[in-house]
Chains A and B, each alone.
Chain A
Amino acid sequence: AQTVTQSQPEMSVQEAETVTLSCTYDTSESNYYLFWYKQPPSRQMILVIRQEAYKQQNATENRFSVNFQKAAKSFSLKISDSQLGDTAMYFCASHTSGTYKYIFGTGTRLKVLA
């Protein structure tokens, strides 16, 4: 079965500091894709970053980067220079071509403190 686990229900970080959100996944597929989405209080779901499992290089998007550890099935999100606008719920998700499904974790609520 395809599963995604986020073990940190809530986190907080001071503005301008760095924070890392954890995500582990499980799949029997060899071809899969991983995503982080952000959901601010507006309820919109916004793509933050994505990673192809076949790529060894960690993805980066401006202040957002991932630490993809394929053997450990870990896909953590690092936010550098945290900003008040980063306050949101963050969801980790996996997608496999074999099952056609996108599976989401339970989310981590991040609060950036001024």
Chain B
Amino acid sequence: NAGVTQTPKFQVLKTGQSMTLQCAQDMNHEYMSWYRQDPGMGLRLIHYSVGAGITDQGEVPNGYNVSRSTTEDFPLRLLSAAPSQTSVYFCASSLRTGSNQPQHFGDGTRLSIL
């Protein structure tokens, strides 16, 4: 009964480094998404996917890439980390879009960019 699994839980990077935040779900959910949470700004949508092979940009996509080669996995890539990307990142999934299906969230990744 894993649900949505995010790794790592904590990470410290230096400016300019790249890394991938992993997200996997075992519920056969169609929809997956990435958010960043910053104080006073709520959760802002970075990228989302409505199915394998389909991704699209959210509210704050700059500096991030995603891919969805399988239904289960939706990694988020930081190409060249910047201090402005210091945040808590959440991955979420839901059974399908266009319905009352809520999103199930991972436990989050706290990322610090020095």
- CB within 8 Å of B: which residues of A? 6, 9, 31, 33, 35, 37, 43-45, 47, 50, 52, 91, 93, 95-97, 100-107
Contact = CB atoms under 8 A, between A and B. Distances in A.
Contacts of A37: 102
Given A44-B105, A44-B107, A45-B105, A100 B45 contact: no
Interface stretch (B68-76, B77-85, B90-98): B90-98
Nearest to A97: B98
Given A100-B31, A102-B45, A104-B44, 20 more contacts: A31-B98, A33-B100, A43-B107, A43-B108, A44-B105, A44-B107, A45-B90, A50-B102, A52-B100, A95-B97, A96-B98, A100-B50, A101-B45, A102-B94, A102-B103, A103-B59, A104-B35, A104-B42, A106-B40, A107-B42
Interface of B: 31, 33, 35, 40-45, 48, 50, 56, 58-59, 88, 90, 92, 94, 97-100, 102-103, 105, 107-108
